[in-house]
Structure 1
Amino acid sequence: MRLELRHLHTVCQIAEAGSLGGAARLLGVSQPALSAQLRRIEGVTGGDLFVRGRHGVEPTALGHFVLAKARRVLHEMDALGAEARAIAGHSPLRLGCIMLVLLDGLLARTDLDLYGREITVDLEDSVTALVRMLGAGRYDVIVYGEVNEHEVPLPSGVSGRTLVPREPFCIRMSDRHPLAGQAGVDLADLADDPWMTLVEDDDGGPEALVEACEKAGFTPLLRYRITDRMMQYDLIAAGRAVSLCQPTAPAVPGTVMRPLVGEPVVGRIRLAWNRAAVSGLQAELFYRAAAGAYVANVDNNPFHRAWWDAHPEVHPVFG
């Protein structure tokens, strides 16, 4: 692992909040997830950045050093983006996105020209970083997901809209898996399988998976965390892991997708945009394009088409 801007932002939020619990609320993550992320950051910096005191956490000497550098870097990056936009004048609409399966269809739709405005796209693996960069003016629009009850707080000057309020996550497994022939899979029957964990570590997904498995009577063996989708698919096809995935995900040779009985993990897809950079009309056009891209993927899996048709209350609403 190497330090990224989102890690610097996390360190600054912990220092400003004065406690892991307070920082977790500001960042929209659970305290255990934040503690785990801090340990990974400290593994890179080479030592403890905070110590627990009577009134929360306090920076160590190393922590003060890292904080000073982090604040300077974040300030310079925010200033760079704003100043560059001002100099460039009319510039492309900048889309930031978590690696959602609707992205390919979204970009392919002709109504994304937004009256001649070009689109640039960056992929992120952190919802926290995505939202922070939207608030700082480095993105104009973002597409992201939230899992179960997790909600990502949006900064001032930003509007958000839910595209799909609920979709049940399903399971991807090898087509040679003993359960591959079943119409639906009970999570408890996967207790002995190694898992490919979700790439995003701050959208509520990892916590939702662990919580659902514990309710099913086991603790999941989280063996792999890989960002390369093709490598993920190869490992699953080889029978070395199973993974949660969105129900609109495409078919992959050597794997099958099956719904989970009882819908133990559900997600939702949201859009957010910077009102200073995106007009109401442009936001509506973008919403329609994203909705069309999602609906076009519903038929990727027959079980999701059946579920979708039975739940009209989750269909996109056009205003």
Structure 2
Amino acid sequence: MRHLRVLCAIADTGSLHKAARELGVAQPSLSTQLRRIERALGAQLFVRARTGCRPTPLGLAVLSRARPLVAEFAAIVTETRAAASRAAGGFQLRIGATASRAIPGWLRRLRARGPDCAPTLQMNVSANALLGMVAAGRLDMAFVHEVEGSPLRIPPGLCLRVLVEREPQFVTLAADHPAASQPEVSLADLAGDRWMVDSTVDGEWDGLCRVLRAAGLNSEMLHGDYLTAYSLAAIGEVVTVSQPTAPPRPDLAIRPLKGDPLGVRLLLAARTEADLDHAFPELEQAYWTVAQEAPAYREWLNRAHACAAPERPGALAVPGLNSRPAHAAM
């Protein structure tokens, strides 16, 4: 079954590198596994090229038999674990997530239900990997973000619930950066700056590249994790994308981008609607709590709320804001 999962992951991602990341193994190890599988079957299943891996005709035939077997085995594992948990008198909620400040409050609210709910957390920079783990029964649900213009690969059968349809992405720059004195920053104000982005986060590198190209900029892009990016931004070496809920720091300025050119969709994914019902309310409460604790985001939400006409279809609906005057959230 492990070999069948390997074949499905390579086919789904189209890349040994991406499949290795999704499966949580090193790429050389995955390459060795694939060669071992092909030797056992006596035929080549994938064509390797600079652009990635694609199944051979025989590979497609094997995959057509492998996918239902993998799905059925995942269902057996999920149902067995759930039955064992119920028999033991408890329920362990296995949560996966990409980075979000809402996570601590979410877990705290779930634990407050009592000892019968014991959430565990697995973090991953790859939303696609987490969704695959939910589909395979290795996680019960995943809280992920989908970068605008870079759709996630949603496995068949997963249920989705949207927390925020479009969360604006802000920019983080040094507190003494010339643009930091403005309430919102234009991309043109950053034309001379280098950007640092974590390219291992699904869609983020491509998303920022698209936005910069659309603005007519050819900015230098550096690869790096966001902890490093924040440290370098503080001394003026780079600017970086940040979630609007990022906490304020005295050495950094977190500002909206003029026109909100870059956004993400926040999703909770699970195998059943009942699973979503079980955890979504606490996630929603936790998210809007941290949203109102972030000064720049709180001001952005207030402006958006004030500009949205309630009678217009699609007008902004912000829990905790629409129920009272906008200034009350300040």
Asked if Structure 1 and Structure 2 have the same fold, meaning a TM-score greater than 0.5 normalized by the shorter chain, the answer is yes
In structure 2, what is the Cα distance between the partners aligned to 1:200 and 1:231?
14
CA contact (8 A) 1:247 1:301 kept: yes
Relative to structure 1, is the Cα distance of residues 161 and 236 closer, same or farther in structure 2, using a 3 angstrom cutoff? same
The alpha-carbon deviation at position 222 of structure 1 amounts to: 1.9
Q: What is the letter of the counterpart of residue 145 of structure 2?
A: G
Q: What is the letter of the counterpart of residue 208 of structure 1?
A: G
CA contact (8 A) 1:125 1:199 kept: no
CA contact (8 A) 2:199 2:223 kept: no
Tell me the residue number matched to 1:249. 246
Once the two structures are superposed, residues 104-159 of structure 1 have per-residue CA deviations (whole angstroms, 9 ceiling, x without a partner) of 22223367637831100100111111111000111111100012143324334421
Tell me the residue number matched to 1:50. 47
Tell me the residue number matched to 2:269. 272
Structure 2: state its 5+ residue gaps. 33-45, 306-315, 321-330
Q: Which of 268, 287, 292 is the aligned partner of 2:280?
A: 287
Relative to structure 1, is the Cα distance of residues 224 and 207 closer, same or farther in structure 2, using a 3 angstrom cutoff? closer
Relative to structure 1, is the Cα distance of residues 283 and 82 closer, same or farther in structure 2, using a 3 angstrom cutoff? closer
Relative to structure 1, is the Cα distance of residues 104 and 217 closer, same or farther in structure 2, using a 3 angstrom cutoff? same
In structure 2, what is the Cα distance between the partners aligned to 1:43 and 1:284?
37
The alpha-carbon deviation at position 310 of structure 1 amounts to: 3.8
Which deviates more, 158-167 or 186-195?
186-195
Q: What is the letter of the counterpart of residue 277 of structure 2?
A: E
Relative to structure 1, is the Cα distance of residues 288 and 152 closer, same or farther in structure 2, using a 3 angstrom cutoff? same
Relative to structure 1, is the Cα distance of residues 299 and 79 closer, same or farther in structure 2, using a 3 angstrom cutoff? closer
In structure 2, what is the Cα distance between the partners aligned to 1:80 and 1:199?
35
SS in 2 for 1:236: helix
Relative to structure 1, is the Cα distance of residues 42 and 298 closer, same or farther in structure 2, using a 3 angstrom cutoff? closer
The alpha-carbon deviation at position 213 of structure 1 amounts to: 0.3
Alignment of 1:106-145 (within 5 A): 106-109=106-109, 113=113, 116-145=116-145
In structure 2, what is the Cα distance between the partners aligned to 1:248 and 1:43?
34
Relative to structure 1, is the Cα distance of residues 9 and 309 closer, same or farther in structure 2, using a 3 angstrom cutoff? farther
In structure 1, what is the Cα distance between the partners aligned to 2:17 and 2:122?
26
Tell me the residue number matched to 1:85. 81
Which structure has the greater CA radius of gyration?
Answer: 2
The alpha-carbon deviation at position 36 of structure 1 amounts to: 8.7
CA contact (8 A) 2:195 2:238 kept: yes
The alignment status of 1:304 with 2:300, answered yes or no, reads no
In structure 2, what is the Cα distance between the partners aligned to 1:166 and 1:96?
21
CA contact (8 A) 2:17 2:27 kept: no
Q: What is the letter of the counterpart of residue 201 of structure 2?
A: D
In structure 2, what is the Cα distance between the partners aligned to 1:106 and 1:155?
25
Structure 1: state its 5+ residue gaps. 1-5, 15-22, 24-33
The alpha-carbon deviation at position 250 of structure 1 amounts to: 0.9
CA contact (8 A) 1:97 1:122 kept: yes
The alpha-carbon deviation at position 187 of structure 1 amounts to: 1.0
The alignment status of 1:315 with 2:318, answered yes or no, reads yes
CA contact (8 A) 1:195 1:223 kept: yes
In structure 2, what is the Cα distance between the partners aligned to 1:222 and 1:216?
15
Provide the TM-score with structure 2 as the length reference. Answer: 0.69
Alignment of 1:1-319 (within 5 A): 10-13=9-12, 23=14, 44=28, 50-51=47-48, 57=54, 82=78, 85=81, 88-90=84-86, 91-109=91-109, 113=113, 116-198=116-198, 200-202=200-202, 204-226=203-225, 229-275=226-272, 280=274, 283-312=276-305, 313-315=316-318
Provide the TM-score with structure 1 as the length reference. Answer: 0.71
In structure 1, what is the Cα distance between the partners aligned to 2:227 and 2:256?
22
CA contact (8 A) 1:169 1:263 kept: yes
Number of matched pairs: 277
SS in 1 for 2:289: helix
Q: What is the letter of the counterpart of residue 155 of structure 1?
A: P
Where relative contact order (Cα < 8 A, 6+ residues apart) is larger, the structure is 1
In structure 2, what is the Cα distance between the partners aligned to 1:224 and 1:314?
36
Q: RMSD in angstroms over aligned alpha carbons?
A: 4.1
- Percent identity over the alignment is 29
In structure 2, what is the Cα distance between the partners aligned to 1:7 and 1:311?
45
